[in-house]
Structure 1
Amino acid sequence: MGKLIIVVGNTGVGKTTLTRQLCQQGGFAGGLEHQVERPFQQRFAEDLARYALPNQVDYLLLRAEQEQAIRRQPEIGIQDGGLETDFWLFTQRFYQKGYLDEAGYQLCARLYTFCRQQLPPPDLIIHLVAPLDVIAARYAQRNRSLEIAQLDDLAALEALLTAWLT
């Protein structure tokens, strides 16, 4: 069974950059976010309340499927964020902001719990940290065609990350 490393941290801290570099330099299998290719991401950006639930269910399933594929390989795999980040940061933040109602949040929580019961936890968690002003500057400079989390979410996401890790 393959080993799984996840790289966690706030939006814009460098998770995807580090994951790509480790995969290229170390020959690790990668599990990236693929935000543009997700079927509900654009619709979610256009109608936050309507598409929050299918978007989050899609992301949680994607990350569980990536983990499962990594675990089947002999080499070590690395995910940028992974199942944990998509649940503990983004699902919870979208619930806080009212994009997910209570029933939608509870469905995501059940799905996360079920997936985690079926899959072993990550073997290693790399936590990237940077001051919020540095993250905000990086976030503002990155050139993604689609962003759901906003600059004003960074402090709340950092608090959610800290709460999950402690």
Structure 2
Amino acid sequence: MNYRFITIEGNIGAGKTTLAHMLARHFNARLILEAFADNPFLPKFYEKPREYAFPLELFFMAERYKQLKEMLQTQDLFSDLVVSDYLFVKSLLFAKINLPEEEYNLYQKLFDIINPQLVQPDLLIYLNAPVSRLQENIRKRNRSYEQQIGDDYLEKVQRMYTQYLRQHAVRTLMIDTTKTDFLGEPAHFQLLLQALEKDYAPGIHYLEVNSEK
């Protein structure tokens, strides 16, 4: 496999972290996970989004930058495989949804200073799931502050990711997870591993993984 830095992305509840763990174990890779639980503003944001959106997004961006910068300094990307469960640009995408225009413009200026300093992934695996599936997964993992996330918010996130991927030539493997269970169906995971042996051009490439295959 030619990819040394793989990032997994998707909406809230798409299964990013689960798949990142599986890939890291399989390839004996370094695993970088979003430290969402360390963000003290997250529960407050879901209760009072307007009041806490800006500190929430600043904290997330700072933590993501710190994690990825440390990876850049300590990893030999030519020999070591890294798997991450987030794309740094998600900071900007969520800020676009959550912040008023003036705060977003300030946030974007900070993002534009930081982003060029980071290594970009060789391949993005995007887990695309319908909102009903996302809500089911959110209920199952039972994080108290997530239980009030509405369908409309998830739909906004979905649209923002879709718009970004269509506008930028990110080398992306898009997987519809409606009938996909990487953890419970070993054959599904094997199909993904086979797909990772291929070389993809920049842009979106679709991988169909379901129980009928």
Give the shorter-chain TM-score range.
Answer: 0.7 to 0.9
**CA apart distance, 1:65:** 1.4
State the Cα deviation string for residues 58-82 of structure 1 (Å, max 9, x = none).
1111111111122221322222123
**Equivalent position SS for 1:39:** coil
Aligned to 2:6: 5
Q: Which residue of 2 aligns with 1:117?
A: 116
Structure 1 unaligned segments of length 5 or more: list them.
95-99
Larger radius of gyration: 2
1:50 has 2:54 as partner: no
Deviation of 1:53 after TM superposition, in Å, equals 0.8
Report matched runs for 1:1-166 at 5 Å. Answer: 3-72=4-73, 73-74=75-76, 75-88=80-93, 90-94=94-98, 100-147=99-146, 149-166=149-166
Structure 2 counterpart SS, 1:6: strand
SS in 1 for 2:156: helix
After superposition, the Cα gap between the structure-2 partners of 1:36 and 1:107, relative to the gap in structure 1 and judged at 3 Å, is same
Structure number with the bigger relative contact order (C-alpha 8 A, sep ≥ 6) is 1
The alignment partner of 1:83 has SS state of: coil
**Worse-superposed segment, 32-41 or 48-57:** 32-41
Sequence identity, in percent? Answer: 30
Shift of 1:159: 0.9
| Paired residue secondary structure (2:163) | helix
- What is the TM-score when the length of structure 2 is the normalising length? 0.66
How many angstroms does 1:37 deviate by? 1.4
CA shift for structure 1 position 7? 0.7
User: CA shift at 1:28, angstroms?
Assistant: 1.8
Counterpart CA distance in 2 for 1:153 and 1:45 is 11
**Which whole-Å CA distance do the structure 1 matches of 2:121 and 2:112 have between them?**
14
1:70, 1:76 within 8 Å by CA — same for their partners in 2?
Answer: no
C-alpha distance in 1 between matches for 2:5 and 2:110: 20
Rounded to whole Å, the distance in 2 between the matches of 1:50 and 1:70 is 32
Give how far 1:45 is off. 3.0
Between 9-18 and 42-51, the greater mean CA deviation after superposition: 42-51
Instruction: Provide the C-alpha distance between the structure 1 equivalents of 2:87 and 2:105, rounded to a whole number of angstroms.
Output: 19
SS in structure 2 at match of 1:104: helix
Structure 2: where are the runs of 5+ without partners? 167-213
